[in-house]
Amino acid sequence: MSNGHGIWMHVDGQAGRFIELSDRVWETPELNYQEHRSSAEHLKALNDQGFRVATGLAGMPTAIMGEAGEGGPVIAFLGEFDALPELSQEAGVAEHRRLSGNGPGHGCGHNLLGAGALLAATATKDWLAANSLPGRVRYYGCPAEEGGSGKAFMVRDGVFADVDAALSWHPFSFAGVMEPASLAYAILDFSYTGRSAHAAGSPHLGRSALDAVELMSVGVNYLREHIPSDCRVHYAYLNAGGPAPNIVQAAAIVRYMVRSPRASEVLMLVERVKRIAEGAALMSETQVESRFVCAMNSLLGNRVMEGAMAQNFEMLGPPEFDAADQAFAGQIQATLTREHIQSAYAMFRLQESDSALSDGIVGAASGGKQMLGSTDVGDVSWAVPTVQAYGATYAIGTPLHTWQVTAQGKSPHAHKGMIHVAKALAATAADLFSHADLLASAKEEHAARLARDPAVQILPPHLAPPLDG
C-alpha cells in the first residue's frame, strides 16, 4: 500500500478506537429506527472527537449529526448502523451458529459502515486543523437504511440543504468506486378485513382476509409478466390471520415492495398493485386499506467525484491482507456455492483469483453485471453531489444479508478493509476541500444532471417516519 496522501496518517492514528466502535455496534445489533444504543455510541464518539453535535434530525430520535471546522464548503460523510432481523451469528466462525434467540445481526455490515465513515470524517477534521484550512466536515448517523428509508425523510426535511458534497461507502467483497446504479422503491402494507366464522360448521358466513391476500399474490404474480424486466415486486406476510385452520381468518396483512431504476415507474407500478389489491377484496368480499410505509430513490451518479475517488484508490492500492485473513476468508468461501463466487467476479468482469480476499481495485465503469439493490443514499444523491465506495471487508462471493456477513463482521480482515476504504473517503474529501475547481465541477455536473432529469419525489409529502420499525 502506498503512503502517498498526507491524510492517511490521520486515519491510521484514529483507527483503533473506530475498530472498537464497530465491534461494539456489532455486539448490540438493532433494527431500523430502534438503533438507540448504536446511535448513542456514535454520538459519544462525536463528542469525544470534539464535533459539534445535533440529535433527533427530521424527527427521528436515532438520527444524529456532528460538525467540525469553520467556513469554507461543507463535506458530509454518511454513516449507518442498523441491523437485520434473524441474522444473529457467532463471530469468527465459518459455520452457521446462531446466538441464543436468533435475534438481529449485522448481516449487511452497517457496524463497519458507520464506524468507517466516522473514521474518515474524524481524519478529515484532523487534517483540516493540521493544515489550517477552512471547511466544515460533517458526519451524519443515518437510521433505518434497511427498509426504513431514513435518509429520504432527512432529505425531505432539508437536513442536507447546505451540504456541498456527500461521501459514503458499503462493505463488500471488493474495494473501489461504487457504480451509481440502484433501484428506487416504495413499500406499502395492505390490510384486509373480513369476517370470522366456524370453518366447518358455517364457512358460508365467513369472509376470509387470508383468501384475499392470496388472491392478491396471484394477481401480482401475473402482473410480473407485464412490467419492465428491470423492475421487481416482492412481498412478505405480516399477519396471515392466525394459526388456527378451523377459523375463517378475519384479518390479514401483506407488505409489498415495488422497485424500479426509475422513480416515476415506481409510482406507476404502485397504482397497478393497488388496483390488484382492490380486485382481491372484491373477489373475497373483504375490505382493504393500503398504508404507504416508506420509499427511496435511485442513485444519481457524479463522474467528477467518482474520478477523484478512483485516483485515490489507485494511489492507495489494495488492502494488505495476511495469511490468517486469507485462511478464514477461505473457510467462509467453503460455505458458499461456486455460483456465489463466480457472480462476484462477473459483476466487475474480473478473472477469478486464488485469493479469497480482494487483491486489487475495481472501477465503477467496469462494464460487468452490477448487483442492483436499493439504498436511501439515492435520495441524498439527488439533493447534493454524492459518491460511494466499496470496501473489501468480506470473502469474495459473500452475499449480503447472510449469516456469513455477520460472521465476518469483527474479523481482522473486515477491520483492515474498513480502514482502507476510510483512507479513500478521507483523501477524496481532502481533494474537494483543497481544490475549489474540483468541487465546483462536481456541483456543475450535478446541476446539469438535474436539469436534464428532474428528481421525482416518491415519498408522500406528509408521511411520518415509521418509528415503530
Mean of pLDDT over the chain: 96
Q: Other C-beta atoms within 10 Å of 90: how many?
A: 14
Model confidence pLDDT, tens digit, residues 137-184: 999 999 999 989 999 999 999 999 999 999 999 999 999 999 999 999
pLDDT of residue 411 exceeding 60, the answer is: yes
Cα separation, 454 vs 162, whole angstroms: 19
Residue 334 has pLDDT above 60, yes or no: yes
Q: Which CATH class is domain 184-296?
A: alpha beta
Percent of all residues in the chain with a pLDDT value above 70, rounded to a whole number: 97
What average pLDDT does range 401-412 have in this prediction? Answer: 98
In this prediction the pTM is 0.95
Using the predicted structure, report yes or no on whether residue 57 has a pLDDT greater than 90: yes
Residue pLDDT, tens place only, 271-321:
999 999 999 999 999 999 999 999 999 999 999 999 999 999 999 999 999
Mean pLDDT value across residues 346-350: 90
Asked if 418 and 112 count as a contact pair (C-beta separation under 8 A), the reply is: yes
Nearest alpha carbon to residue 64 among 54, 74, 77: 54
Q: Which phi and psi angles does 65 have, rounded to 5°?
A: -150, 140
Residues of the chain with CATH 3.40.630.10: 8-181+298-452
pLDDT at position 272 is 98
Average pLDDT of the segment spanning 405-433: 98
For the chain, residues classed under CATH 3.30.70.360 are 184-296
State the average pLDDT over residues 104-108: 98
The whole-number pLDDT of residue 366 equals 54
Residue 467 has pLDDT above 80, yes or no: yes
Identify the pLDDT of residue 101. Answer: 84
Which residues does 206 contact at the CB level (< 8 Å), separation at least 6? 194, 195, 196, 197, 198, 199, 248, 250
Average pLDDT over residues 389-417: 98
CA-angle at 82, arms to 96 and 294, nearest 5°? 120
pLDDT band at 367; cut points 50, 70, 90? low
> What's the CATH architecture for 8-181+298-452?
3-Layer(aba) Sandwich (3.40)
Residue 5: what pLDDT?
A: 84
| The pLDDT value given to residue 365 | 53
